[in-house]
Amino acid sequence: MNQDTAQNNDIEIAEATDRTGRVRAGVVENDELYREYLISELCSLSFIASEIRSWSSAEQFLHDENRKDLDLLLLDIDLSGISGVQLAGILALQQPDLPIVILSNLTSDEAIFEAIKSGVKGYLLKSELSSLEEAIHVVMGGGAMITPTIALRVMSSFQKTPASGPDLTDRERQILELMVRGKTIKSVADFLMLSPHTVHDHVKRIYKKLEVHNRAELVRKVQELQLI
Q: Please check the confidence at residue 35 and state whether its pLDDT lies above 60.
A: yes
Beta strands in 58-143 (DSSP E): 72-75, 100-104, 122-125
Cα gap 144→101, rounded to integer Å: 9
Contact partners, residue 194, CB within 8 Å, separation at least 6? 188
More confident residue, 33 or 19: 33
What pLDDT was estimated at residue 14? 47
Domains and CATH numbers, the chain: 3-159 (3.40.50.2300), 170-225 (1.10.10.10)
Q: Please check the confidence at residue 105 and state whether its pLDDT lies above 90.
A: no
**Helix (H), strand (E) at residue 54:** strand 53-55
More confident residue, 185 or 9: 185
What pLDDT was estimated at residue 33? 94
Percent of the chain with pLDDT over 70: 86
More confident residue, 107 or 192: 192
- Report how far apart, in Å, the C-alpha atoms of 133 and of each of 38, 143, 168, 194, 227 are: 12, 14, 52, 63, 43
Q: Please check the confidence at residue 13 and state whether its pLDDT lies above 80.
A: no
Percent of the chain with pLDDT over 90: 48
Q: Please check the confidence at residue 194 and state whether its pLDDT lies above 60.
A: yes
What pLDDT was estimated at residue 191? 86
Q: What is the mean pLDDT of residues 6-35?
A: 73
pTM, two decimals, is: 0.62
Identify any residues that bridge with 204 across adjacent strands, giving them in sequence order: none
Q: Please check the confidence at residue 7 and state whether its pLDDT lies above 80.
A: no
Q: What is the mean pLDDT of the chain?
A: 85
Using the Cα atoms of residue 144, residue 149, residue 153 and residue 156 in order, give the sign of their dihedral: positive
Q: Which of 18-22, 98-102, 209-213 has the highest mean pLDDT?
A: 98-102
115-162 pLDDT per residue, tens? 888 889 999 988 888 889 999 999 999 999 988 888 887 787 776 655
Q: Please check the confidence at residue 67 and state whether its pLDDT lies above 70.
A: yes
Q: Please check the confidence at residue 10 and state whether its pLDDT lies above 60.
A: no
Cα-to-chain-centroid distance, residue 179:
29
**Helix (H), strand (E) at residue 8:** helix 3-16
More confident residue, 8 or 122: 122
Cα-to-chain-centroid distance, residue 130:
22
What pLDDT was estimated at residue 47? 94
